[in-house]
Amino acid sequence: METMTVERVIDAPIQDVFAWLTATTNYTKSPLILRCRLTRQGAGAPYGVGAVRDHLWLIGWFRERITSYEPPYATEYVVERSLPPARHEIGRMTFTEVAGGTRVVWTTRAEIPVPLVGTFLTRHFARPIITRTFSNILAAADTALVR
C-alpha cells in the first residue's frame, strides 16, 4: 500500500472550504476528471455518511462511499469498486483553521493489485497521477473560494 498526501492552505473560511471540497461535482474543475456525480445521498447531508459518489478520471472509474462526515473538520471515504481494479484502505480530508485561511490535508492509501509489478505501478504511475489530481482539485477550490 502506498500513502499519498497533498496539502494546501486556502484563504477562505473553513465552512466554505469543507462544503466545496465535499461536493464531488466540483472535482471536474481538475483537467484529469471527466465526470463526478452523487449516486446516493448520505445520512443527514447529501455527502454525509453512506453517500455514494462515482468519479470518471482519465485513468479510470471509481465508486466511493463516505464512511465519516464531521463538518467542517473531516471526511473519509473508501473506494468500493474501480476500473482498473485497485485496493483502497482510506481516503481522508482534514480541515484546520490557520492564519491565512483553512489548511486542507488530503490523504489516501491505495495500491494497484498486480502481481510482481503492482508496487512499481502504484509508486511510479498511480501515485503521481493521484497526487497531481488532488493538487489540481485543491487549486480549483482555492480559485473558486478566494475572492
Q: Record the pTM.
A: 0.91
The confidence score (pLDDT) of residue 35 equals 95
**Rounded-to-integer distance, Cα 147 and Cα 118, Å:** 43
- Domain spans, the chain: 2-145
CB 36 within 8 A of CB 25: yes
Instruction: Give the pLDDT confidence score for residue 10 in this predicted structure.
Output: 97
Alpha carbons 140 and 147: distance in angstroms, whole number = 13
**Residue numbers of the chain with a pLDDT score lower than 50:** none
Query: For position 124, what pLDDT does the model report?
Result: 75
Q: What is the pLDDT of residue 7?
A: 97
Do residues 88 and 112 lie in contact, with contact meaning Cβ atoms separated by under 8 Å?
no
Q: What is the CATH number of domain 2-145?
A: 3.30.530.20
pLDDT on residue 145 = 95
Question: Exposed e or buried b for every residue in 13-22, given b needs 16+ CB within 10 A?
Answer: ebebbbbbbb
